[in-house]
Structure 1
Amino acid sequence: MEAKPKKRKMETLGRGAVAMKTEDGVFLSWRLNAYEYEQDINFIVLRNGERISDIITNSTNYLDKDGTADDVYTIKAVKGNKAEKHGAQIKVTNAEYLSIPLDKPANFVDPDGNSYPYTANDASVADLDGDGEYEIILRWDANGKDNSHKGITGECLLDAYKLDGTKLWRINLGKNIRSGSHYTQFMVYDFNNDGKAELVCKTADGTIDGKGNVIGDKDADYRNKDGFILEGPEYLTLFNGETGEIMDTVDYDPPRGNIREWGDSWGNRVDRFLACVAYLDGENPSVVMCRGYYDHGCPTVLVAYDVIDNRLVKRWKFLANKDQNIEYTNQGNHNLGVGDIDGDGLDEIVYGAMAVDHDGMGIYSTGLEHGDCMNLGNFTPNTPNLDFFQIHEHEGAEYGFEVRDPATGEIKWGKYTGRDTTRGLCAKVDPRYTGNQCWVMDDGIYTMEGELINEQGPTSIDFAIWWDGDLIRELLDHEFNDETQKGHPKIYKWDYENNKLVTILDPKGTLSNNWKKGTPCIQADILGDWREEAVWRNEDDTELRIYTTTELTDHKFYTFMHDSVYRLSVAFQNTAYNQCTQTSFYIGPEMDEKLPVPMNEYVQGTNFPDFTEDIDE
């Protein structure tokens, strides 16, 4: 007897409607849920209570050429010749972006009297209060440091905001958590399946939750003269997402132990953290906290937790070091990927050049060692299997970049570079070739089969984003100003015929994050139809700006947030060297236009409207 397919617990979402004033009128866009996708759900648009559209069957967007900034719109779902009674009401945003005002912290002043401003850095999104719409969780850094650099940093802060700017809470991780992209990986997800997301991250003595409660010794200060924290207790804490209050705290596993065992004596290697969310049992989300990925024989550790009765309960621990699983050491990236790579309905973790099974057992190690970026998703049409692309840092690596089967580790093709291959990306940018294309810094652009398309690929090698109305991905990046040492965001279209980038969005007055990596606070399908929003900070860190496309499309897909590969890639996007989102299904001009419907169980039900209102076609 075959096992019954498992259903993944997934958030129930509202319509997520937006109305943006443009030169052409008012552009409207709204969300189609995955459970509506095969139910022949269509839509109508009302302006100020009066219907203005025919039944919209082929998209979830609309341009009202006569719309003004003062109008109020209603999006109503339709089934047959019946519409829902109330629908989703939305006011017009008379700007290029949606503004979220921030409560910017006061400057951090170090022991020598130097003052450093806080910057709005990485973010996550989740439904914290169960209303079916997303909130933004934001990390603040002041004088944030890479692990390889000395210096005392400001206290790392986590804020939660509703999209209208209402601040829900602030968590202060305290002076014993260093600020920087490698230190605080915060996973925000509905771990207890109650319809409201929780937050999990590393904490320490002096961490203050959203209600003012303090973990451990509030006066403890374990920082050394160089700003590193090499002693003192380490914790993992589960916070209530709606209030920021502590729900549970456990000892952090693995502890730092003997610092030298991680690869140095001063604090670089020991504090290399990653994290992710994964459906390890195929039904419920688990959080996986990771430590270490450098140096042969030095520890690489992944520890999975479930949230049971609002407590963190350890599920398994994977350990590689000089005494066991040594082939898995020095294989991790500054990022990771999660998906069902072997088709068993359970998630695995691709940890750079190695993979760990849903049960915490190693699957394989390629031995190609550490790299700075990787992409896990479906990059080839007409197959349910996931694909994988990775670059490698070691100049002696057999492949500086490679495409492999993520389930087995089999290298499909790759290229020796003889150098630190610093950037790489896999995305659909050229419709002339089947499947995605991949390219790296200072090299060509290739097909998924390894065919060289051009000796010079796009110079944008950061994020890929679904932005305009076609099925080709655009490129989200930045221009770095060497004088100011700041990055200015851009979205480009790759002109594959002329082999050049074309700017299609230049968001004035905004800044990118993480120095020359130039990443947004977050990129995800937060609002509107299936296409993605980009969130950047403004120039003085007093505001987040959500940019959403205003281009029409006739492709009607459900929200990508109901695809677990995509949803999880959003959840761990803030991990270390941020990577862009991916899906479990292929998106491109040669795709089957119908997406596979995910096997999900929606924790607050399917929220189908009552179709009671007669309408004309």
Structure 2
Amino acid sequence: MNIIIRSTMVLSMLALLSTMVAQQQERLHQRGLVALRYAPDSVFVSWRLFASDAGSQAFHLFRSSPGQPAERLNRQPLTGATHFTDYIGGLTGDITYEVREAGQTTGERYLLSADATGNFLTIPVQPLEGHTIGDGAAGDLDGDGRYELIVKREMRPRDNSHRGVTGQTKLEAYRLDGTMLWRIDLGKNIREGAHYTQFLVYDLDGDGRAEVAVKTADGTTDGQGKVIGDPTADHRNADGHIWKGPEFLTVFDGLTGAELHTTSYIPQRHPSITDPTPEQMKEVWGDDHYNRSERYLACVAYLDGKHPSLVMCRGYYTRSVLAAYDFKDKTLIHRWTFDSDDNTPGNRAYRGQGNHNLTAADVDGDGCDEIVYGAACIDNDGKGLYSTGLRHGDALHVSDLDPARPGMEVWMGHETRSDVAGIEFRDARTGELIWGFASQGDVGRSLAADIDPRYPGYECWAFGPGITGLYSAQGERISERSPRTCNFRILWDGDLLHELLDRNFIAKYDWTTDSLRFLLRADECRWNNGTKATPVLSADLLGDWREEVVWRTADNTALRIYSTTIATPHRLPTLMDDRQYRLSVAWQNVGYNQPPSTSFWPAGKANLKTRP
């Protein structure tokens, strides 16, 4: 394997820098209190611990009901796991819970309505005929310290390799009580589909409210009814592809949906021609039917280690271009562009290495985020860090997969048949192949998850021709059979192992029998993205450090946020305080959705790299 690397950092320096606290500009100040009536007489109450909390931080929990004074439920201060099971007996009617930090006279409240049952919250969405609820994101849009949900809604999405006129993509924002904040219509000149619209929700300028960034075009209508560009323009060809016309990048106000700033979209279709012909596109991208050029990715990354930047990407089968922007004073400012085909020495090695997804992570320990672009990695300064040359793939996982090694690792499958590594476990900093296996074709699925406590770190497996078995992080074949699902992982029950999330179920892997035990089946819900079978969103949105999962109901009238009601002995901060995890929630809707990844091994209880 030919690895091209631009790095002189020695391991001793890496170990030193890895102890640095990673800054995160986005901050929540509410504890995400949630109460779930999982049985007629039992309520599971849960709240966040912050990484900035003192280790001795204690809490008190109060319950009140109409006509009754507030009653403290705990005899002693709560200093363990941040949840409580309240046995309410025959109590009926609405119940209000309040969690207070010890020594405080007020706290955060949650109203549990009399008719609320089950381990989920229901968020009704506005009717939109013919539209399906698609991928989602989370952000504090109004600055109240609580997350809102943003969802994509589509009619006839298409893979960009396929012909067909699509509908018009809508983005909608909802508070968790079902209040709709806005709807943005991206218009006819933005094609529906998983590879086209990548939307990022994050507090980009540090004002305490998240913005929404997305590629726009002539005819996009913001959340206040203002049209961007020419409202009458139609840049579609007979096959439904967008082949000409201006391309924009817009940042919208998260609370109102109003356009804040629009600039020209980089990477553009052609490096020098505004409206290139199909023949001119083929010279640049390798095809003349708007497939390779219309593959988009995006993420948020702390390129300077202190402030978030947008990274907008185009192409991964051939030419690959990444453009970074900062958002300051409500204005987008171009930071750098990396182009595999711009004749910069060494850049050609990065051609064709991208995935259908990407990851922002501090892989070299310098406090700044790099972009793991499939089989390659771009440094925070916009220069190539390394390219493995193993080419494109469908799935990507970056974390401290092997705690016995310094730094982080990458687990990735590749689409091209390989005698070297069709599936590979590599050093995230250098690109060095640690172990891997040959494949006979497209390895369409791969997953790294800690599911077997007998082995340190994450277990790894994949689905593809010639690939079988379950492997430890050290490359040992620990089972002849892999789990029969290879999609998302989730922290759901009370231990520090991962559970497996696929379609509309969560299951526990039994390493003694190589079988799955189902923990949750959301039979009234459906998954997204066809055979990809992904949820609207999976993230630590509410309560303690365990993760929630958001699905759409089968009739597309509501979102459901499912949250665990299983007790845990472990007291951990919210996963959202880990910068890499929060950034992975931001890019989760991009391309082929992947589960969010922490920068640390959960079972090792490593210190969170968090805000100061």
Runs of at least 4 residues of structure 1 off by over 6 A? 2-6
Provide the secondary structure at the position in 2 that maps to 1:34: coil
| Deviation of the 1:314 alpha carbon | 0.4
**Where does residue 152 of structure 1 map in the other structure?**
165
**Where does residue 52 of structure 1 map in the other structure?**
73
| Deviation of the 1:380 alpha carbon | 3.0
Out of 121, 133, 136, which is 2:149 matched to? 136
| Deviation of the 1:7 alpha carbon | 3.3
| Mapping of residues 334-349 of structure 1, within 5 Å | 334-349=356-371
| Deviation of the 1:39 alpha carbon | 4.3
- Give the direction of change, closer, same or farther, for the CA distance of 1:191–1:322 in structure 2 (3 Å limit): closer
Q: Does 1:12 align with 2:28?
A: yes
- Give the direction of change, closer, same or farther, for the CA distance of 1:474–1:330 in structure 2 (3 Å limit): same
1:513–1:520 CA contact under 8 A, matched in 2 = yes
Out of 562, 569, 588, which is 1:573 matched to? 588
| Deviation of the 1:44 alpha carbon | 1.9
2:137–2:585 CA contact under 8 A, matched in 1 = yes
Out of 160, 177, 200, which is 1:164 matched to? 177
TM-score of the two chains, using structure 1 as the length reference: 0.90
**Where does residue 360 of structure 1 map in the other structure?**
382
Q: 1:323-348 deviations in whole A, cap 9, x for unaligned?
A: 44111001000001111111111110
| Deviation of the 1:558 alpha carbon | 0.7
Letter in 2 for 1:282: G
Please give the alpha-carbon distance, in whole angstroms, between the structure 2 residues aligned to 1:5 and 1:53: 34
**Where does residue 485 of structure 2 map in the other structure?**
460
Provide the secondary structure at the position in 1 that maps to 2:567: coil
Please give the alpha-carbon distance, in whole angstroms, between the structure 2 residues aligned to 1:77 and 1:596: 25
**Where does residue 94 of structure 1 map in the other structure?**
117
Q: 1:240-270 deviations in whole A, cap 9, x for unaligned?
A: 1111001111111121124212121111111
**Where does residue 433 of structure 1 map in the other structure?**
455
Q: 1:511-568 deviations in whole A, cap 9, x for unaligned?
A: 0000000000000001111111100001111100111111111111111111101000
Out of 509, 517, 529, which is 1:514 matched to? 529
Letter in 2 for 1:498: T
| Mapping of residues 184-333 of structure 1, within 5 Å | 184-257=197-270, 258-260=280-282, 261-295=284-318, 299-321=319-341, 323-324=343-344, 325-333=347-355
Letter in 2 for 1:302: L
Q: Does 1:401 align with 2:409?
A: no
Please give the alpha-carbon distance, in whole angstroms, between the structure 2 residues aligned to 1:69 and 1:446: 51
1:76–1:84 CA contact under 8 A, matched in 2 = no
**Where does residue 550 of structure 1 map in the other structure?**
565
Please give the alpha-carbon distance, in whole angstroms, between the structure 2 residues aligned to 1:414 and 1:572: 26
**Where does residue 196 of structure 2 map in the other structure?**
183
Letter in 1 for 2:483: P
**Where does residue 474 of structure 2 map in the other structure?**
449
Provide the secondary structure at the position in 2 that maps to 1:600: coil
**Where does residue 8 of structure 2 map in the other structure?**
none
1:384–1:585 CA contact under 8 A, matched in 2 = no
Provide the secondary structure at the position in 1 that maps to 2:561: strand
| Deviation of the 1:287 alpha carbon | 0.5
Provide the secondary structure at the position in 1 that maps to 2:327: strand
Out of 106, 112, 119, which is 1:85 matched to? 106
Provide the secondary structure at the position in 2 that maps to 1:578: coil
Provide the secondary structure at the position in 2 that maps to 1:398: strand
| Deviation of the 1:388 alpha carbon | 1.2
- Give the direction of change, closer, same or farther, for the CA distance of 1:237–1:160 in structure 2 (3 Å limit): same
Letter in 2 for 1:285: P
Q: Does 1:371 align with 2:383?
A: no
Please give the alpha-carbon distance, in whole angstroms, between the structure 2 residues aligned to 1:382 and 1:128: 40
Please give the alpha-carbon distance, in whole angstroms, between the structure 2 residues aligned to 1:477 and 1:461: 8
Please give the alpha-carbon distance, in whole angstroms, between the structure 2 residues aligned to 1:508 and 1:357: 44
Provide the secondary structure at the position in 2 that maps to 1:425: strand
Please give the alpha-carbon distance, in whole angstroms, between the structure 2 residues aligned to 1:300 and 1:234: 17
**Where does residue 607 of structure 1 map in the other structure?**
none
| Deviation of the 1:598 alpha carbon | 3.5
| Deviation of the 1:6 alpha carbon | 6.7
Q: 1:452-508 deviations in whole A, cap 9, x for unaligned?
A: 011110111000000111111100002xxxxxxxxxx11111111100112111101
Please give the alpha-carbon distance, in whole angstroms, between the structure 2 residues aligned to 1:184 and 1:84: 46
- Between 435-444 and 212-221, report the one with greater CA deviation: 435-444
Letter in 2 for 1:577: Y
Letter in 2 for 1:150: R
| Deviation of the 1:145 alpha carbon | 0.5
Letter in 2 for 1:164: D
2:22–2:609 CA contact under 8 A, matched in 1 = no
**Where does residue 418 of structure 1 map in the other structure?**
440
Please give the alpha-carbon distance, in whole angstroms, between the structure 1 residues aligned to 2:307 and 2:469: 41
Please give the alpha-carbon distance, in whole angstroms, between the structure 1 residues aligned to 2:305 and 2:357: 22
Please give the alpha-carbon distance, in whole angstroms, between the structure 2 residues aligned to 1:78 and 1:21: 23
**Where does residue 501 of structure 2 map in the other structure?**
476
Please give the alpha-carbon distance, in whole angstroms, between the structure 2 residues aligned to 1:368 and 1:143: 34
Letter in 1 for 2:124: P
Please give the alpha-carbon distance, in whole angstroms, between the structure 2 residues aligned to 1:322 and 1:316: 13
Please give the alpha-carbon distance, in whole angstroms, between the structure 1 residues aligned to 2:110 and 2:252: 32
TM-score of the two chains, using structure 2 as the length reference: 0.90
**Where does residue 173 of structure 1 map in the other structure?**
186
- Segments of 5+ residues of structure 2 without an aligned counterpart are 1-15, 65-69, 271-279
Provide the secondary structure at the position in 2 that maps to 1:270: helix
Provide the secondary structure at the position in 1 that maps to 2:25: strand
| Mapping of residues 601-616 of structure 1, within 5 Å | 601=612
Provide the secondary structure at the position in 2 that maps to 1:59: coil
| Deviation of the 1:77 alpha carbon | 3.2
| Deviation of the 1:33 alpha carbon | 1.6
Letter in 1 for 2:607: P
**Where does residue 111 of structure 1 map in the other structure?**
none
Provide the secondary structure at the position in 2 that maps to 1:277: strand
Letter in 2 for 1:28: V
**Where does residue 103 of structure 1 map in the other structure?**
126
Please give the alpha-carbon distance, in whole angstroms, between the structure 1 residues aligned to 2:529 and 2:107: 43
Letter in 2 for 1:317: T
| Deviation of the 1:42 alpha carbon | 1.5
**Where does residue 600 of structure 1 map in the other structure?**
611
1:43–1:75 CA contact under 8 A, matched in 2 = no
| Deviation of the 1:83 alpha carbon | 3.8
1:378–1:582 CA contact under 8 A, matched in 2 = no
1:294–1:329 CA contact under 8 A, matched in 2 = yes
| Deviation of the 1:89 alpha carbon | 3.5
2:324–2:336 CA contact under 8 A, matched in 1 = yes
Please give the alpha-carbon distance, in whole angstroms, between the structure 1 residues aligned to 2:107 and 2:531: 47
Letter in 2 for 1:12: L
1:400–1:421 CA contact under 8 A, matched in 2 = yes
2:578–2:610 CA contact under 8 A, matched in 1 = no
**Where does residue 67 of structure 2 map in the other structure?**
none
Please give the alpha-carbon distance, in whole angstroms, between the structure 2 residues aligned to 1:6 and 1:587: 17
- Give the direction of change, closer, same or farther, for the CA distance of 1:5–1:443 in structure 2 (3 Å limit): closer
Considering only aligned residues, what root-mean-square deviation do their CA atoms show, in Å? 1.7
Letter in 1 for 2:190: I
Out of 81, 86, 109, which is 1:64 matched to? 86
1:274–1:335 CA contact under 8 A, matched in 2 = yes
Aligned identity (percent) is 46
2:600–2:608 CA contact under 8 A, matched in 1 = no
Please give the alpha-carbon distance, in whole angstroms, between the structure 2 residues aligned to 1:26 and 1:289: 44
Letter in 1 for 2:49: L
Please give the alpha-carbon distance, in whole angstroms, between the structure 2 residues aligned to 1:69 and 1:568: 41
Q: 1:1-57 deviations in whole A, cap 9, x for unaligned?
A: x99977331212301111111126111111112211x34111222121101223221
How many residues end up aligned between the 2 structures? Answer: 570
